[in-house]
Amino acid sequence: MSHYVDSEVGRLGTVLLHRPGRELARLTPRNNDSLLFDGIPWVGRAQEEHDKFAAALRDRGVEVLYLADLLTDVLGTAFARAELTEAVLSDVRLGDTLRAEVAVHLADLDPAGLATVLMAGLAHEELRTGSGLVYSLLDRHDFIIDPLPNLLFTRDSSVWVGGEVAVTSLAMPARSRETTLTHAIYRHHPRFAGTPLVYEPGLEHLEGGDVLLLGPGVLAVGVGERTRPAGAERLARRCFARGLAHTVLVVPIAQERATMHLDTVCTMVDVDAVVMYPNVADSLEAWTVTAGEDDELRIFPPEPFLTAAAKALGIDTMRVIDTGLDPITAEREQWDDGNNTLAIAPRLCVAYERNVETNAQLERAGIEVIRISGSELGSGRGGPRCMSAPVNRAPLGH
């Protein structure tokens, strides 16, 4: 099966999701900040909300792949199993004695059980036998293998650009191991056999929530808290070299929790339309980057993001739909991921139902909105776009 994505709004064919599981139940008031959650989600309700999200996509003809299923498949092969086991055993915090005991524990697990540990972590009391200095000094509530509650946000760890996939390099320590799983899936799962990788973990920090495929050959990359300028530069060089893009717009965003990624302030809902947080609409700038001679980049002076985007796409102007109606509502709904929509097709998107004014604004602009509940899913600061990694979209015009 071929996989291809060249826009944010082409008809969505296949998407990668992660149904929240045991890793979310690991969150406590002691660790939720370090694990990047603003609250302690009700896991059962989060799963219900996620199931309804997946059902809404299937109802519109979208194929839904689950990360846990793909990971379990991959762990059925000896090479991938050894690679992913080594990735957790290499943690320098373990020490030799505990490392050997964890290795024995993991070796006894079947693929589904190992997949669960790789996603949900391994707690002190779950290790069947433990000894040595490191184990003795661990608190009984400590994790020997940390959980990955942010796996829910599959957008960040991989981005398709044309027929190639960028497996990203996540900035926050709590998330850095996520891409070892995604990387293994894209390299070892039969579904993705032979897929070229345009980016890989270990390179400069780059996260999928900062990458918008504005249209064929045109990328926007936010740089701020998570994606660094060097990551944007590396992605641009590689996309130009492989003919995947002709223009990359590099967009600085505030390094704040509320605006951690570009898609927290702006997402596309039509080939020429964005829903955008009005507080940044006038101030957001873009450096236009194109391929130069001798592998050098041509960098043009900054101009308003919307102006640069329209020029790169070859259109007169970008239509802007504001988050909210007034400054207070806009700020509230931006915090609740009002901008973070997932387009299923041009003028058709999924959004959280709680963002009442933003959804009404979208509908007044001719955008059909599929509303989903997200009171628990949103506690990690992510909306429908964050929770989805498109792996196949119809090229625009098809």
Mean pLDDT, consecutive 10-residue segments, the chain of 398 residues?
Answer: 91 96 74 59 86 97 98 96 95 92 95 96 84 85 86 94 96 85 96 95 95 97 92 97 97 68 89 86 90 88 95 95 62 56 96 86 94 76 88 84
What DSSP string runs through 11-31? PEEEEEE----HHHHT--TTT
How many helices (H) and strands (E) are present in the chain, helices listed first? Answer: 13, 20
pLDDT of residue 175: 84
pLDDT of residue 257: 45
Tens of pLDDT, residue by residue over 332-359, are 544 454 568 999 999 999 998 888 888 8
Contact 174, 207 (CB under 8 A): no
Task: Tell me the C-alpha distance between 116 and 72, whole Å.
Answer: 9
Greatest CA separation found in the chain?
Answer: 68
Contact 284, 266 (CB under 8 A): yes
The DSSP H or E segment spanning 229 is helix 229-241
pLDDT of residue 329: 57
Closest CA to 177 of 158, 157, 196: 157
Tens of pLDDT, residue by residue over 68-120, are 999 999 999 999 999 999 999 999 889 999 999 999 999 999 999 999 999 99
Cβ-based neighbour number of residue 44 at 10 Å: 12
The DSSP H or E segment spanning 389 is strand 389-393
pLDDT of residue 141: 76
Q: Which long-range contacts (CB under 8 A, 24 or more apart) does 234-237 make?
A: 234/199, 234/203, 234/204, 234/206, 235/166, 235/198, 235/199, 235/206, 235/211, 236/289, 236/297, 237/295, 237/297
Active site residues per annotation: 386
The DSSP H or E segment spanning 133 is helix 132-137
Contact 118, 102 (CB under 8 A): no
pLDDT of residue 297: 94
Task: Tell me the C-alpha distance between 125 and 141, whole Å.
Answer: 8
Domains of the chain in sequence order: 12-67+149-393 (3.75.10.10), 70-145 (1.10.3930)
The DSSP H or E segment spanning 249 is strand 247-252
